[in-house]
Structure 1
Amino acid sequence: MEMKIPPQHQDVQPGLESELDPQPKVIRYTYVGSGKLQGKVALITGGDSGIGRAVAVHFAREGADVAIAYTPREEGDAQRTRQLVEQEGQQCLLLPGDLRDASYCERLPGDTVRRFGKLNILVNNAGLQLAHERFEDITDEDLVNTFEINIYSFFRVTRASLNYLHEGDCIINTTSVTAYQGRADLPEYSATKGAIMSFTRALSSNLAEKKIRVNGVAPGPIWTPLNPASVDAEQVAQFGKDVPMKRPGQPSEVAPAYVYLASADASYVTGQTLHPNGGTIINA
């Protein structure tokens, strides 16, 4: 999994996977599906690229149809994700829009059900990451946009999804190692990821009686478009070298955690968070 990342930067959030060098690894050729999600339907926010794309493809290899939410700017990436899902023999519904828009969030689950007839798995995954070396440079606009996308959308999409989720279904939230460690240049991002961690724990208790499981995944440095769209080119070239494994992870190394949490293998797991982070010890 070793790779060399040359200096690179993308000027607009969210970044585009099509412009990354090298291209992230979506799924290992040795990964063999075994029908763990056969007949299931999943909705994935931020499903066009990065971890979201890898989750969509892994879910498809396990037998699930997938709907993905993404911004219209990422149409090319979304179309590529659809191709990859369809190559696995499954269907992929594209749902472009703005997760800062409450009405869009509330429509997503219903649109998924109208296409596929049901919804079994919700993956709240979309995220905005803005780096600020000086705390006082954070604008109200930065703050509002980060919270709207990173945590408000989780509440809104989840609330609407509960009209369709039933016993045995599940919700998986993408948090981050920064929820536990913080990061000096990502104060608002770290704060939202901490909120997602607490949201996951609280929601799991809230939905336990309904037998709907709620868990999280807290990735470390994973090679996705989020990174070159957030920091300068030289920082990107050093990405992931500060973890014990001395390298960034690939989306293909994270997505199987979502498969586990979405499947019957995790039937006795709720309120928990998995940590694919390259060896960083999290005592929380």
Structure 2
Amino acid sequence: MSPRPAPHQSGSRPAPSRPRAAIVAEHLHKRYRSTTALADVSLRVEQGEVVGVLGVNGAGKTTTVEMIAGLRRPDGGTVRVLGLDPQRDRGRVRQLLGVQLQDAFLHGALTVAELVGLYRSFYPDPRPAGELLDLVGLAGQRDVRFERLSGGQQQRLSIALALAGRPRVVVLDELTTGLDPRARRRMWATVEGLRDDGVAVLLVSHTMEEVERLCDRVVLLDAGRVVAVDTPAGLVATAGTDTLDDAFVALTGKQLEAAE
């Protein structure tokens, strides 16, 4: 008779593995001639999490997101997107990462539908064109050339293009700049839908209402360094203020004040 296997000992169970982070940036440094844009920036975004990046103008927000997107090479430190290096694994990262930056450089003579079709062609399993246009409220402008769109419509189109490839990680730089209140809320609902689908979102914003509604955590930058990482409510508590807007003022701008 075969011996019975020994009962499983609860103490020997392997610890559950931690899900792979969507974005990991560690000790990023960047200089432009005599200017230090990033002195030491580290951040992490989990899958299904929205992390905001806040800071005064010149704090290093755009440089940080451009490094994560592979658009700029750090002088020091490392970036990984779903375990991939945005510089070395550029092609693979582009299939997983959607990016909407502040300035959209798109061909003005192409229509909305043509631009959506072009971007969809970059991916093996893109979102349907109609779904993308409905998502950002541009179905009625599908035959309008990019140069004829309003600033807010151009912004919405940029967001649609960032989502064309069903990305697992999304970087949004000033998501709702120039949008009217109705369009702004539509974009907020879109981001909430991405989080519900397990997509990681890194959001650069100056709109405190937007940050409070969308962000699970906030990375606060000042003079190229991380000065705080917390929930929006946690930042308010740390600063001892009544609002996130006041907490932002209290926790940032130290170097600017010293210079003055």
**Would you call these one fold, judging by a TM-score over 0.5?**
no
Q: Which has the higher strand share?
A: 2
Under TM normalisation by the shorter chain, which class is it? 0.3 to 0.5
- Between Structure 1 and Structure 2, whose CA radius of gyration is higher? 2
TM-score, with normalisation over the residues of structure 1? Answer: 0.32
